[in-house]
Amino acid sequence: MSHATVYLDHAATTPVRREVLEAMLPWFSARFGNPSSVHRFGREARVALDDARDRIAATLGAHPDEVCFTSCGTESDNFGVIGAWRAARQHGRRAVLSTPIEHKAVLAACHQVVREGGSERFAAISRDGVVDEHSWRDACDDQLAVASAMWVNNETGVVQDIPALTETAKSSGALMHTDAVQAFGKIAFDLRSLPVDLLTISGHKIGAPKGIGALFIRRGVELEPLMHGGAQDRGRRPGTENVPYAIGLATACELTVQERDAHCAELLAMRERFESRVRDAMPDVVIHGANAPRAPHVTNLSIPGTDAETLLMALDLRGILASGGSACQSGSVGMSHVLSAMGVAPDIAHGALRVSFGCLNDHAGVDRAADVLVTLARKARGLVTA
């Protein structure tokens, strides 16, 4: 990537860290054993896999047997919601609760519950993108199997009060799941004191490869496996374990936690610098969720009179790489379901850009990105000549 390119899509994915790649490489070649094999190659792989599980658990404040490896955040979300619901329905609980601003993995999992004979409930959202706790509480009763709320929204960066939502859900006897894909490394937490039952993380958001994630499953929580065919991971997730990627995830988790405080301070400084620079030049810019608690690495903004798809293409041509929202929509730039649930007017929502900061950014690049965006927005609004 040339030095002129400014990558502002870290919420979509991050580059694999050098330390992560170096830790993984031996397990692709000389150390290739199957951890289920009883010979020494297999035993060596088993030790490495168990060590990776131990290390990830330590970063979460969990027990090693509470860490279940998955292929990604989407699989973890599906397992957490559908697996927990299938187990709980045997005890007469047939409803799931979530919010309309979740990642599509959770929303689709809730819809699957309905197809299997259950029911879905969705709590109301404020105009700032915060879950209405009264609406959430009203949806928690003795029919609720599992509740799920994303800790940090992947489009707006708005932070939910997961401890409070968890307390309410669990007081009704339900299980609580949170998608912490954007929260891990941005919000300090310890699962020894946070009583969520299920928590999702994803490797490629924190410098590990695409294709590895994990689901925290608290001891005693029942889940029905989504797949069948083997006894791996205590029967919860059959299939030969991906040893090199598990090692990569463990390395990335450790580095992320070690660097969290300093990194978040830098991310916040860049986000505020970017927003201030754009706001000074375009006072009518709309920062979505600006009045709510937000994670430091994401800003979602609309400049009235502009179109997101046009701006994104023009930015790309100038070496500025951003997105129109979630990166999980097949590359399309359409009406965001998150902004729609927040009550954002369609003409404003269609102009929304997500800018997310990370390891590839510095202040000079942030300034350049803001200035280019302002120039393009002014041109789109006819305020400057071509």
Question: Which residue is catalytic, options 110, 140, 328, 359?
Answer: 328
Reported residue count of the chain is 386
Cα angle, residue 168 at apex, residues 164 and 169 outer, rounded to 5° = 115
Integer Cα distance of 67 and 192 in angstroms: 14
197 secondary structure, DSSP code: S
Contacts of 183 (CB under 8 A, 6+ apart): 151, 152, 159, 189, 295
Distance of CA 281 to the CA centre of its chain: 31
Integer Cα distance of 145 and 278 in angstroms: 45
89 secondary structure, DSSP code: G
Integer Cα distance of 298 and 8 in angstroms: 9
Q: E strands along 180-333, which residues?
A: 198-202, 213-217, 286-287, 298-302, 320-321
Number of H helices, E strands in the chain: 12, 12
Instruction: Establish whether 264 is a catalytic residue.
Output: no
Integer Cα distance of 69 and 59 in angstroms: 15
Structure-token pair, residue 80: 């957490």
Structure-token pair, residue 339: 């902004």
Q: E strands along the chain, which residues?
A: 6-7, 67-70, 95-98, 119-122, 144-148, 175-179, 198-202, 213-217, 286-287, 298-302, 320-321, 352-356
35 secondary structure, DSSP code: T
17 secondary structure, DSSP code: P
* Residues 32 and 41 sit within 8 Å (Cβ to Cβ): yes
Q: Give me the residue label for tokens 């810019």.
A: 285
**Which residues are part of the catalytic machinery?**
328
